[in-house]
Amino acid sequence: MPSEQKLTVAIIGAGIVGLCTALEVQRDGHDVVIIEPDEAGGRQAASYGNGTWLNPGSVLPMSTPGLWKQVPGFLLDPNGPFIIRWRHLPSLAGWLIRFVLAGRTWQQIETCATQRYWLSRTTAQEHAALALEAGRPELIRRNGLMFIYPAQADIDAENRAWRLRQTLGIRFRKVETAELRQRVPELSDAYTLGMQVDDGGQVVDPGAYCDALFRLALSRGAMHKKARATGFSFNGNRLSAVLTDGGAVPCDRAVIAAGVHSRDLAAKAGDDVPLISERGYHVVIPDPGFDLPTGLMPSDGKMGVIWTPQGLRLAGQVELASIDAPPNWQRAKILLNYVRRMFPALAARTDAVEKNVGSDNYWMGHRPSTPDGLPCIGAASGSPDIVHAFGHGHVGMIQAPASGKLVAAMIAGRDPGYDAAPFSARRFAQ
Domains of the chain: 1-65+103-138+201-275+370-430 (3.50.50.60)
Q: Which helix (H) or strand (E) holds 202?
A: strand 201-203
Please report which confidence band the pLDDT of residue 73 belongs to, taking 50, 70 and 90 as the band edges. Answer: low
Enter the pTM of the model: 0.95
Please report which confidence band the pLDDT of residue 2 belongs to, taking 50, 70 and 90 as the band edges. Answer: very low
pLDDT higher at 333 or 78 = 333
pLDDT at 68 over 80: no
pLDDT attached to residue 85: 79
Choose the weakest-confidence range: 73-77, 93-97, 360-364. Answer: 73-77
Please compute Rg for the chain using Cα positions.
21
- The DSSP call for residue 392 is B
Question: What digits encode the pLDDT tens for the residues 177-205?
Answer: 999 999 999 999 999 999 999 999 999 99
**Which of 130, 125, 126 is closest to 199 using CA atoms?**
125
CA separation, residue 83 to residues 9, 34, 73, 109, 155 (Å) = 39, 35, 8, 22, 24
Contact 315, 361 (CB under 8 A): no
pLDDT at 81 over 80: no
pLDDT at 169 over 90: yes
pLDDT attached to residue 72: 63
Mean pLDDT of the chain: 94
Region for 8 from its dihedrals, namely left if φ exceeds 0, alpha if ψ lies in -120 to 50, beta otherwise:
beta
Q: How does strand 201-203 pair with strand 53-54? A: antiparallel
Question: What digits encode the pLDDT tens for the residues 202-235?
Answer: 999 999 999 999 999 999 999 999 999 999 999 9
Per cent of the chain over pLDDT 90 is 85
241 φ/ψ angles, rounded to the nearest 5 degrees: -165, 155
pLDDT (mean) for 22-27? 98
Query: What is the CA 263 to chain-centroid distance, rounded?
Result: 17
Length of the chain: 430
**Which of 344, 301, 269, 246 is closest to 81 using CA atoms?**
301
pLDDT (mean) for 384-403? 97
- The DSSP call for residue 105 is S
Contact 187, 169 (CB under 8 A): no
- The DSSP call for residue 52 is -
pLDDT attached to residue 400: 98
DSSP codes, 227-278 = S-EEEEEEETTEEEEEEETTEEEE-SEEEE--GGGHHHHHHHTT-----EEE
Please report which confidence band the pLDDT of residue 1 belongs to, taking 50, 70 and 90 as the band edges. Answer: very low
pLDDT attached to residue 64: 86
Q: Which helix (H) or strand (E) holds 77?
A: none
Dihedral, 135, 23, 4, 253 alpha carbons, nearest 10:
-160
Contact 19, 210 (CB under 8 A): yes
pLDDT attached to residue 82: 74
Contact 389, 375 (CB under 8 A): yes
pLDDT higher at 80 or 114 = 114
Please report which confidence band the pLDDT of residue 262 belongs to, taking 50, 70 and 90 as the band edges. Answer: very high
224 φ/ψ angles, rounded to the nearest 5 degrees: -115, 120
Please report which confidence band the pLDDT of residue 321 belongs to, taking 50, 70 and 90 as the band edges. Answer: confident
**Which of 244, 224, 209 is closest to 129 using CA atoms?**
209
Amino acid residing at 300:
D
Alpha-carbon distance of 216 to 307, in angstroms, equals 25
Measured over all CA atoms, what is the biggest interatomic distance in the chain, rounded to whole angstroms? 67
- The DSSP call for residue 143 is S
Q: Hey, is 311 helix, strand or coil? A: strand
